[in-house]
Amino acid sequence: MHTSRLFMKSGIGKTCIHVLMTWQSCRERSLAALQIQVTRTLISAPGQQTGGGVSENKRGLKAIDIAQRERESKGEPRGLKGKTVNKGNLKETLPVSPLQRRVSELKQFSQHLQNVHPNVLAKILHKSIVFKNQDVVAINKPYGVPVHDTENASSSIASVLPVLVKMLHGIRTERRLHVCHKLDKNTTGILLLGQTEDATDHIHTLFKALQVERKYWVVVVGVPVPSEGVVDIPVVEKEVTGAQPHFKMGLSPLFRTSDGGEGVTRVRANRHARSAVTQYRVLDSSHGCSLVELQPITDVKDQLRVHMGLALGCPILGDHKYAHWEKLAPQQLPKGVLRQLGLEQSKARHLPLHLHHRQLTVPGFKGHSDLTASCWLPKFFTSSVQKLLISLPEKPANEK
């Protein structure tokens, strides 16, 4: 104790105490200043007032605001959104056009439907029902969803039918739904589901006998000449050689133009070719594109796409397979069409296939009258038609 008093009275003790008090004072002032600065930062954001109160939106600084300030301090421009690209060690985003966003949304939507939980897809199909009776259910098939399971999709319409039938008839039902006919993954429109085995078998038989009347609406690049007619050219699968060898359906005509250019000469029929007949009618045209109604008389793989693209020279908008014969590449669109769609050629690969199964009529079953089911166009289809200034027939009030 005596030693402590001597130390306090000594010059060394007083100096130590003074240094300690000075350090504590500086520390307190620094903490106070830091607290004030943090408070000002938290209550202020770009474009907001900082005069002693919180912002009008009453929200603090977000991570995106901090990142934006960091970019601005380095002299980088504001408002970069969209695609991510690498620039040295910095990742930047590039702006995207409204059309690119719509295309991206469509791709994400179709991919989402292929990989969602079966209950979610079943709910979407339930909302898309356009007709229902004791024998069949007709749905408006979404774009990009396969009818049957594939390697690239975890969900399909067939795989969720057990869930859909419970939504229709209750959780304890023993009834089943059956797919009555085929419809390609990227084709939208009417798809029939049988509620009984008898109805399903009957519809299968009618399809094989080509007694079901089907009508499709398509947007094509070009204007078919004449504006109404019948394409009667057999179709056969062919191998395309070259840098990108592949197989696809092609024309196998029974006649060819004579060497002199006068008249036609009959050629030997390909034994693997199948008869393909398509009726067509132009509904309207504008800016180098047309809305066409197609009625296939036969049922051959890719028949409508082949007849429009290879026979009439008016490929379906978004058909990247049959817009070219010799290669696999995105569809090449005229500058006028690109301008109307607000699209660059480099982004044309994102255009979806504009092929919609508009209406289907099945002959009477078990004494019933003929069944006709129809559905309206998907949003991406109507959006393209509006941009091209093509007139659509008036939508029936009772159609989904």
Give Rg (Cα) of the chain: 34
Beta bridge partners, 193, equal: 137, 179
Q: How far apart are CA 162 and CA 155, in angstroms?
A: 13
CB of 161 within 8 A of CB of 176? yes
Which of 331, 329, 332, 343 is closest to 388 using CA atoms? 343
Counting beta carbons within 10 angstroms of the beta carbon of residue 383, is it exposed (0 to 12), middle (13 to 18) or buried (19 or more)? middle
Backbone angles phi, psi at 384, to 5 degrees: -65, -40
Helix ranges restricted to H, 91-209: 98-115, 118-127, 161-169, 197-208
Catalytic hit among 65, 135, 184, 370 = 184
DSSP state, residue 269: P
Q: How far apart are CA 388 and CA 333, in angstroms?
A: 13
Q: Omega into 226 within 30° of 0, i.e. cis?
A: yes
Q: Is 184 an annotated catalytic residue?
A: yes
Active site residues: 184
